[in-house]
Amino acid sequence: MCFRPSLWMLKVIEGGSEGYVVGIVTAGAQAIATSGSQAYLPDICVNWDEDQLRNVQQTQATKFAFAAILDDGSVRTWGAADYGGDSSAVQDQLTNVRQIQASYHAFAAILGDGSVVTWGHASYGGDSSAVQDQLTNVQQIQATQRAFAAILGDGSVVTWGDAGYGAYSSAVQDLLKNVQQIQANMFAFAAILGDGTVVTWGDADHGGDSSAVEAQLMKVQQIKATAIAFAAILGDGSVVTWGSAGFGGDSRAVQDQLQNVQQIQATETAFAAIRGDGTVVTWGGADYGGDSSAVEAQLKNVQQIQTTGTAFAAICGDGTVVTWGDADHGGDSSAVKAQLMKVQQIQANLFACAAILGDGSVVTWGRPSFGGDSKAVQDQLQNVQQIQATETAFAAIRGDGTMVTWGDTCVALEPW
């Protein structure tokens, strides 16, 4: 689906219910949101005109919705309304937007003046009214599944959303000083302070309590997360983990290998660490990427790693790709191996991967219906600069600022 730049809406009447469909819906699309109901509309195509989705600078995605920042600082959204696809209530506030962060259900936009605008599911971060007067001079935002945490210019932190997912930070608020960065898993947050120590909060069993490794968390450089565990790289290149053991929170089996670690990536249940010599160490859920023994010999001179929910894809120094983990969800790229040359970057959703090659074309693999099959739009995937993903779909930004989407893309909305 190629998003051409201005918005057209098609009024749909189905079963006595009226609604509006925005964008392009492919044959066989899933349930389409209408005013007050769900309707199955298998063959609807709505064209885009020339102005509104042009010059896209950045995209972000919740579970089932996209938000795009345009070059004039405005924002366009599409997808499921309850997941942030409808920004009509705040559209007039979305000006001079600098960056957007997303939880599963809501978006939070940082404006040029450091204030924040939120929308989506109110209880899960879409309503920030309770802390709005505190959201000034915001530098960055992170999100769990249902909550947001914003770092202010003075290094303090403001949280909102669902208390059980990290929105309740009162117990550690006195410790949240000089915060440099925050990482999040589904249920908890971990903040790196200026002195290299770490403060955690949220669900204690899922990474919100790091007291068992507190003494080891010194000179922390970066933190990564699976669904319910964290891994921190220290200044000496070693790694400290905590959270649910089966999800990578216990790294004792590979601890002696975790030396000179440069970066870490994670699926929902496993971690993969790139060491200084370009080799890779994995741990966590074996079936979902925690066991890389089958491809260990190929994992040489690895430059970067990307993940689906249950598989890893590594770009090697020669531009080739090595994959492992859940075969159906991106862990098996053998069908496109010959095409995966001069790969520049890879993006992934929960079920599939999309690689941008040196010539700006795109190669996909993984579950076909969720973006692993891009044949329907392959001729449009030229001069691609970046790709963003929801859980089940992809959106590619081309050099001219237009967008191409594929996968399970239900872009139905109520009127803006």
pLDDT of the residue at 131: 98
Q: Please tell me the predicted confidence (pLDDT) of residue 31.
A: 28
> What pLDDT, on a 0 to 100 scale, did the predictor assign at position 248?
98
What is residue 318's DSSP assignment?
Answer: T
Instruction: Specify the 3-state DSSP secondary structure of 137.
Output: coil
Q: Which residues contact 133 (CB under 8 A, 6 or more apart)?
A: none
Q: Which long-range contacts (CB under 8 A, 24 or more apart) does 194-197 make?
A: 194/155, 196/220, 196/221, 196/235
Please tell me the total count of domains within the chain.
1
Whether 205 maps to a domain, the answer reads: yes
pTM (2 decimals)?
0.82
**Each residue's pLDDT tens digit, 172-183:** 999 999 999 999
Residue 31 lies in a domain: no
pLDDT of 59: 83
Residue 60 lies in a domain: yes
- Residues 321 and 341: their CA atoms lie apart, in Å, by 8
Domain assignment present for 259:
no
How close are the terminal C-alpha atoms of the chain, in Å? 21
Residue 274 forms part of a structural domain: no
Find the domain containing 178 and state its range. 55-209
Residue 85 falls within a domain, yes or no?
Answer: yes
Which amino acid does the sequence have at 92? D
- Return the pLDDT at 389: 87
The phi and psi torsions of 405 (rounded to 5 degrees) equal -125, 155
For residue 412, the 8-state DSSP code is: B
Span 8-33, pLDDT tens digits? 333 333 333 333 333 332 222 232 23
**Whole-number Å distance between alpha carbons of 238 and 338:** 36
Residue length, the chain?
416
Is 171 part of a structural domain of the chain?
yes
pLDDT < 70 stretches in the chain = 1-54, 409-416
In-domain check, residue 145: yes
Domain holding 131: CATH number? 2.130.10.30
**Secondary structure E strands in 207-296:** 220-225, 229-234, 239-243, 261-266, 270-275, 280-284
